[in-house]
Amino acid sequence: MYTHHAYGYILAPVTKRLVEIDDADLDAARAALSTSTIKETVGRALREAAASAARRREVERLLDGSSALLAVGEERDRAWR
């Protein structure tokens, strides 16, 4: 693992990895994400996958009714303070 430096700033630690990537999958992802390099495509795809999972969890939380407790009474008042 090493720390990536850009313009004098230290960014998140990164690890070099050797992976096999299907060319058709890479081309499709590159087109869908409007990226130009493999690194950019893989990075954006990973971030979008994580964001999609977070959105899915949030929708499930909203649908399961647990947020309904915030809609009434003292719980609602505490949430809006």
Structure confidence at residue 20 (pLDDT):
96
Sheet strands (E) in the chain: 2-6, 9-14
Structure confidence at residue 28 (pLDDT):
98
Structure confidence at residue 11 (pLDDT):
72
Structure confidence at residue 32 (pLDDT):
97
Run means of pLDDT, 10 residues per run, the chain, 81 residues: 59 86 97 96 96 92 73 71 70
| Distance spanning both ends of the chain, measured CA to CA | 43
Domain ranges of the chain: 22-79
| Tokens standing for residue 15 | 């690890």
